[in-house]
Amino acid sequence: MINFVIWIIAGALVGWVASIIMRRNKRQGLIGDIIVGIVGAFVGGYILSPLFNVSTINESNFSIPALLVSVGGAIILLIFFKFFRNIVWLLAIILIALSIYYYFTCWQMGSSSAFCTTIRAWPFLQ
């Protein structure tokens, strides 16, 4: 039981340090720091542990090298989320632009192409 409490505290510390390094400390609270720290330790275990031959906090190793590998994994996790968030916004803008384009080409101009006929046949557009 005490090992679980230390694991949660170490996860919160790892997540907090990673969020400060990535400048996301204002956006996530204590629960977010704990989740980022623990999941980041798993990421660090898969990516960084083989490179540095150091275990992570998820393997009950609370040494300084293990904490640094876990922080590195949490930073990789936050970079991935930042990249994914930017991609989602780009995809949303492209989807909106395509929707406007199809609206004006298939409905306003009364195109009778096979593509426009297929789009008009979708049940949720009826």
pLDDT in tens, 49-87: 888 888 777 777 778 888 888 899 899 988 888 888 778
User: What is the DSSP code (8-state) at residue 112?
Assistant: -
Report the distance separating Cα 27 and Cα 74, nearest Å.
15
Domain count, the chain: 1
Domain limits at 100?
2-125
Write the pLDDT tens digit of every residue in 27-37.
778 888 888 88
Given this model, what pLDDT does residue 111 score?
A: 66
Write the pLDDT tens digit of every residue in 80-111.
888 887 787 778 888 888 877 777 777 666 66
Given this model, what pLDDT does residue 108 score?
A: 62
Q: What is the DSSP code string of 14-61? A: HHHHHHHHTT-TTT--HHHHHHHHHHHHHHHHHHTHHHHT---GGGT-
Put simply, whether the predicted model's pTM sits higher than 0.75 gets the answer no
Report the distance separating Cα 8 and Cα 37, nearest Å.
9
